[in-house]
Structure 1
Amino acid sequence: MRFEESQSRCVFDIITGDEFWFYHYDPELKEQSKVWMSTSDPRSIKIHRIKSAGEKNGGYFFMKFGLIKSVSLETGAIVNASWYVNACLPQVFQAVSERRETRGLIFHDDNARRRIELGLRTNFCWKIM
């Protein structure tokens, strides 16, 4: 009864997403690490790990038909309730509205926190379940 014996189309109404956090590296080129050695010298071993050149974080959101939107943070910013409600979600819903109407969507976020509940209710007129 819940899914009307596989006739329900609710799966097309679900949006899900999560945060991402990527580090990127600027590896040393092979030419940069070459040194002159005699045949009798022991083989050199590189033991240090290079530091990351930077990081990229943000959020990505999917529906049944694939990726809707990937929203990146500005450099140095962090994922918090303000960014999520004021910057991220409006972009997601703009992207969804280009494909379909936004009424009747089911938004699933595994990291939804109680602190963003008020922002979601006031900005988007949502009910939190």
Structure 2
Amino acid sequence: MLLKYSKADSRRHSEVITGDETWVYFYDMQTKQQSSKWIFEDEVSDPIPKRFMAVNKRMLAIFFTTRGLLEFVMLSAKHTVTAAWYTECCLPKVFQAVETLRPKSGIRGMKFHHDNAPAHTQPEVAKSLLGNQA
């Protein structure tokens, strides 16, 4: 992709949408001060339960252009990216964000750059991308 655009003007770079997924971890940690409590000298303190680092985690798909953040889509709890989710839930939100960004031309002429994860390389993803360029 860099070779393709190296001889073109910099305006062509603004036509690229980059997307990827990552896990987002939610933490619920107490500091030592928050978990401390006053006790009398003759009292036995309650044991402090072991705290887990990640209380929850969710998959986040995020898309950027040269202008910055375009769109992000959070998956439901305990779900991962599939081709069906990518084409039915994620890409429509990205297409809508592009329509807002480029009301006259929309997604036409835009290039999607994402990794070769199985959910991205399925035929229905390509059909979804090509079908929305009209």
The TM-score, its normalising length taken from structure 2, stands at 0.72
What residue in structure 1 maps to residue 11 of structure 2? Answer: 9
Unaligned 5+ segments in structure 2 are: 42-47
Higher relative contact order (CA 8 A, sep 6+): 1
AA matched with 2:36:
S
Aligned-residue CA RMSD (Å): 2.9
Q: How big is each residue's C-alpha offset from its partner over 1:28-64, in whole Å with a ceiling of 9 and x where there is no partner?
A: 25233336486xxxxxxx8x55242111212000000
Higher share of residues assigned helix: 2
CA deviations over 1:64-115 (Å, ceiling 9, x no partner): 0000001000112211211111111111111011011210001100234387
Query: CA 1:114–1:73 in 2, change beyond 3 Å: closer, same or farther?
Result: closer
TM-score by length of 1: 0.74
Maintained 8 Å contact 1:59/1:71? yes
The equivalent residue for 1:94 is 96
Unaligned ranges ≥5, structure 1: 39-45
Equivalent residues, number: 119
1:104 pairs with 102, 109, 131, which one? 109
Write the mapping of 1:1-129 to structure 2, written as runs, cut at 5 A: 3=5, 7-29=9-31, 30-34=33-37, 36=39, 48-100=50-102, 101-113=106-118, 116-125=121-130
